[in-house]
Structure 1
Amino acid sequence: MTDFGKALTSTRTPIPGLVVWDLPVHGDNRGWFKENWQREKMTGAGLPDFGPVQQNVSFNDAVGTTRGIHAEPWDKWVSLTTGRIFGAWVDLREGPTFGVVFTTELDPSRAVFVPRGVGNAYQTLEADTTYTYLVNDHWSPDAAYTLLNPGDEAAAIPWPIPLERAEVSERDRAHPRLADVTPVAPKKTLVLGGDGQLGRALRNEYASDDTVEFATRAELDLTDPDLAVARRWRDYDVIINAAAYTAVDRAETASGRLEAWEANAAAVSRLAALSAQHGVTLVHISSDYVFDGSAPRPYREEDALCPLGVYGQSKAAGDLAVATVPRHYIVRTSWVIGDGANFVATMSSLAERGVDPAVVDDQVGRLTFTTDLARAIRHLLNERPASGVYNVTNSGDPVSWAQIAREIFALGGHDRDRVRPCTTEEYQASAKAPVAPRPRNSTLDLSKLEATGFAPRSWRDALRTAIGPDSPTF
């Protein structure tokens, strides 16, 4: 008999992510009513906002009808409309809880959330039992199921009706034993821009993690009209967008303007829509150029966007698109130094060749080494703080480009006074091509990042390591 009058409550199980829910059921002489799925109340009570897209119904006319054990590549919300069932779940995911079993009975007043990769099976305890399940991916003939024999001796499920007397399909009886099951691999992470400076740093950071994939633009083009089917997007937990148009000055030309908006805004908008549709966490790299640099203090994450040039405007548009994704991290950074052409390499080369450069002394900020940026991204994905914007740079005192250039000269054993300071206006007047406006203040407040437990390395220490005699790749 259905239990009326319960409060909406959850009970965790030994299987991580598998949660049993008591549901309020309201009944009288006419019958009963319940809210089988109520997003606001249930997510507020702790149910993952798993984004169901399909509802399935299973009717079972006889006691003892047994289905499973099946582990599907999607999350499920299982509840009953009539009858009563014995449910059995086995963790078939790769990891320390592989093979853990949990069983309980369900009626219309109890439901269960089954995460991807957990095997589930149900045995009816009453005739004319109907259960429904919401899933967050559409059924596909190409979907890969992981299966377990319901009579597996290692799982030792205590079926109320022994399987030899139950109604079980021959197909289910032929499923493999636990020892022969290949565990369900965790969802993957996809890094876009895998051949860029940050992409190469992320390759090093995740070198030992075979669940992380890398794609160059040649391998995955966000402008492809078939992008929606270019990957099975539900198989990804995270997309890190390390791809961007970064030719700041070229963006001020007619052709560059088009390229900047296509890469930094239009493509990012398409990526955001895909991420939202498939429940993917999107990590996107932002820039100090989304601000005009007029603030008298370090910029905070909640400060209003006010870009000066085309590059900054296109990046700001991309940020706004990413902010619509339910699970997102906008990683805002500045003055990035990575493997390849960069300010540190340029100044080191000028020092060695005897060139005394003029460097602007009225733009202030901090360097960000890609090794530290990659480490911060991994930290955010490990800790999973609230979605939103997180400033990420190296720590230390904000300085000008000229001061950094002097430090580079000195660390390389050269006279720091060979660097001649100049104003932004003087630099722009001497340029032979269009020069994009730069923010005078690019300093980002790091307190929100530090509150997550991440301690950014000092830019001075990072620079010293990069220029030392045995310096590794940035």
Structure 2
Amino acid sequence: MTVEFSKPLAARSTPIPGVVLYDLPVHGDNRGWFKENWQREKMLALGLEDFGPVQNNISFNEKAGTTRGIHAEPWDKYISVATGRIFGAWVDLREGPSFGTVFTAEMGPDTAIFIPRGVGNAFQTLEDNTAYTYLVNDHWSAGAQGQYTFLNLADETAAIQWPIPLEQAELSDKDKAHPRLADVVPMPPKKILVLGADGQLGRALRAEYDGAGNVEFAARTDFDLTDPASFASRNWKNYSAVINAAAYTAVDTAETAEGRAAAWAINAEAVARLARVAVEHRITLVQVSSDYVFDGTVEPHREDEPFSPLGVYGQSKAAGDTVAGAVPAHYIVRTSWVIGDGSNFVKTMASLAARGITPSVVDDQIGRLTFTEDLAAGIRHLLESGAPYGTYNLTNTGPAVSWAEIAREVFRLCEAAPESVTGVSTAEYFAGKEGVAPRPLLSTLDLGKLEAAGFVPETAAKRLESYVRDLGEES
């Protein structure tokens, strides 16, 4: 066995996406050698994801020519050789354009390789008494083999050039019986779970991900965020991300005793359960936030502004943001004045315009509308673009306006008289009314961070025009 001493730690890319070959420094003298087989800090610095290994396995092979594989397991693996030497072969068995891609390499104690979930792994020993080791980020069990994807070692399409011909090698009967590539069912990607799929944002996410087989939608009847049994019923190992589009949004009712409990249960306690699941299973958590976490005295609001909620709803959302922010892989998407498929301000104003009613609308609350199609597209962009984790403001673009200005524009688009909308202050509008939650007056969110991440939403004016036109066609 020849080991190259003192070469620097380095990463080498391969033709299979996510598969990375590593050169490991090995230090030796007349007594033998020593190496850091796995050093988390250094590997992260080289770009390896923090894949969270939980188990270390060793395969001892007495004779040269022992050949094992090709097995694609439903977890990630970091593979190295403790002693001896192997010829490794890896085949991408995941759904997608790289399906069937092959990579081979000889490995000894001075190399290691990272193999993502769904990539078939095989090796052939080149020396007697070879020990093959791997770290995995899930606990192995006999039942887990039902989730494997297999490929025959002699598959003609992969055409792996085994150093020792397979007819002379030591193989198991099971490995001899695995299917050819043409008969392999590719391993599907982990799923994205959308919670609150029956709400305005949930319906927009359904449209955004229409046809995507790896996205699962759960309405409240499918997944009750307030019920711990809903969390226990899921096999979270099969998910890569959770988009929490569910929320308690009855701002005024949240000020009542019953509403206060409900708001905290959904907007804070449930998010804490999601955060725990996300941390335990290395899931990306997308939490939708609100301008109500601020008191509305600053404009525009940046992502790093301290929380200053005025009412119960805003307090519960701020609490949810706090726990979501503790998840290593998280996106908190803060938005305001959401308009989508459901009851909302624009629909109400269009209905009033059609019936000839002249409303009074507050003119001292300033912000931007957020149409759910842009909110959904922005969330997808963050998940798929590799944007840095953290908090992002997301509304439609354009000038900040008041609710009264929006109402007048809706009237104009409905061919009603804009001047029939009367502007009043928030204090005047709610005078004499009980059980009213305080509202932030300035809700404009700074979009610079989102735009720097490569997503620029459409203007609110264009979206509003299209939305009102579609309402007219539906009526």
Q: In 2, Cα distance between the equivalents of 1:469 and 1:279?
A: 41
Q: Which residue of 2 aligns with 1:10?
A: 11
Structure 1 stretch 282-291 or stretch 21-30: which is displaced more? 21-30
Q: Structure 2: which amino acid aligns with 1:207? A: D
CA contact 1:93–1:183 (8 Å) conserved in 2: yes
CA distance in 1, matches of 2:135, 2:264: 39
Q: Deviations over 1:204-236 (max 9, x none)?
A: 111121211100122122333344542221221
- Structure 2 distance, partners of 1:21, 1:210, is 33
Q: Which residue of 2 aligns with 1:29?
A: 30
Q: Which amino acid aligns with 2:350?
A: S
Structure 1 residues 160 and 180: CA distance shift in structure 2, 3 A: same
**Partner Cα distance (1:155, 1:275) in 2:** 36
In structure 2, what residue type is equivalent to 1:401? Answer: W
Distance 1:472 1:174, change over 3 A: farther
The correspondence of residues 97-176 of structure 1 with structure 2, limited to 5 A, is: 97-140=98-141, 141-142=143-144, 143-176=146-179
Residue 362 of structure 1: aligned partner: 364
Give the SS at the match of 2:333.
strand
Q: Which residue of 1 aligns with 2:251?
A: 248
Query: Secondary structure, in 3 states, of the residue corresponding to 1:319?
Result: helix
Q: Provide the residue aligned with 1:443 in structure 2.
A: 444
Instruction: Calculate the aligned-residue CA RMSD, in Å.
Output: 1.5
Q: How many Å separate the matches in 2 of 1:44 and 1:92?
A: 28
1: distance between equivalents of 2:460 and 2:37?
54
**How many Å separate the matches in 1 of 2:61 and 2:228?**
43
Counterpart Cα distance in 2 of 1:410 and 1:226: 50
SS of the aligned residue for 2:269 comes to helix
Bigger mean CA offset, 191-200 vs 56-65: 56-65
Aligned residues: 471
Q: Name the CA distance, whole Å, in 2 between partners of 1:244 and 1:225.
A: 17
Counterpart residue number, 1:204: 207
Say if 1:88 and 1:102, in contact at 8 Å, map to a contact too: yes
Take 2:279 and 2:218, find their aligned partners in 1: how far apart are those partners?
20
Letter in 2 for 1:405: A
Most deviating of 331-340 and 156-165: 156-165
Which TM-score applies when normalising by structure 2?
0.96
Q: 1:60 to 1:370 in 2, by over 3 A?
A: same
Instruction: Tell me the amino acid that sits aligned with residue 335 of structure 2.
Output: T
Question: Does 359-368 or 127-136 show the bigger shift?
Answer: 127-136
Residue 397 and residue 452 in structure 1: after superposition, are their counterparts in 2 closer, same or farther (change >3 A)? same
1:288 partnered with 2:330 = no
TM-score under structure 1 normalisation?
0.96
Deviation per residue, 1:42-98 (Å, 9 max, x gap) = 111111111112211111111111110000011100011111111000111112221
- Give the Å deviation of 1:469: 5.9
What amino acid does structure 2 have at the position aligned with 1:204?
A
* Equivalent residue number for residue 343 of structure 2: 341
Are the counterparts in 2 of residues 289 and 439 from structure 1 also a CA contact under 8 Å? yes
Q: Which amino acid aligns with 1:353?
A: R
1:266 to 2:269 alignment: yes
Match of 1:452 in 2: 453
**Structure 1 residue 397: deviation in Å?**
0.6
Matched, 1:375 2:374: no
Distance in 2 of aligned mates of 1:136 and 1:176: 26
- Give the 3-state SS of the residue equivalent to 2:168 in structure 1: coil
Query: What secondary structure is seen at the aligned counterpart in 2 of 1:468?
Result: helix
Q: Could you say if the C-alpha distance between residues 381 and 290 of structure 1 is closer, same or farther in structure 2, counting changes exceeding 3 Å?
A: same
325, 328, 331: which one pairs with 2:330? 328
Structure 1: stretches of 5+ with no match in the other structure: none
In the alignment, which residue of structure 2 is the partner of 1:301?
A: 303
CA distance in 2 between partners of 1:35 and 1:220 (Å): 45
Aligned-residue offset at 1:30: 2.9
Alignment pair present for 1:418 and 2:413:
no
Instruction: Specify the alignment match of 2:60 in structure 1.
Output: 59
* Whole-Å separation in 2 of the counterparts to 1:472 and 1:274: 44
Instruction: Label 1:124 to 1:438 Cα distance change in 2 as closer, same or farther (>3 A).
Output: same
How far is 1:471 from its partner? 5.7
In structure 2, the CA distance between the partners of 1:30 and 1:237, relative to structure 1 (3 Å rule), is same
Task: Report Cα offsets for 1:374-415 as digits up to 9, x if no partner.
Answer: 111122222121001111101111011111111111111111
Deviation by residue 1:6-61 (Cα, 9 ceiling, x = unmatched): 21101111111111001112222332222222211111111111111221111111
- Give the Cα separation in 1 of the matches to 2:50 and 2:400: 41
Q: Give the aligned residue type for 1:387.
A: Y
Q: What SS class does the counterpart of residue 167 from structure 1 fall into?
A: coil
Unaligned runs of 5+ in 2: none
Show CA shifts across 1:272-304 (max 9, x none).
111121111111101001111111x21111111
1:204 partner SS: helix
SS of the equivalent of 1:33 reads strand
Q: What residue number does 2:226 align with?
A: 223
Tell me how far apart the structure 1 counterparts of residues 167 and 227 of structure 2 sit (CA, whole Å).
53
1:405 is aligned to: 407
Aligned counterparts of 1:91 and 1:230: Cα–Cα separation in 2: 31
Asked if structure 2 preserves the Cα contact closer than 8 Å seen for 1:465 and 1:471, the reply is no
Secondary structure of 1:359's counterpart equals strand
Distance, in Å, in 2 between the alignment partners of 1:449 and 1:307 is 23
Q: Shift of residue 185 of structure 1?
A: 1.4
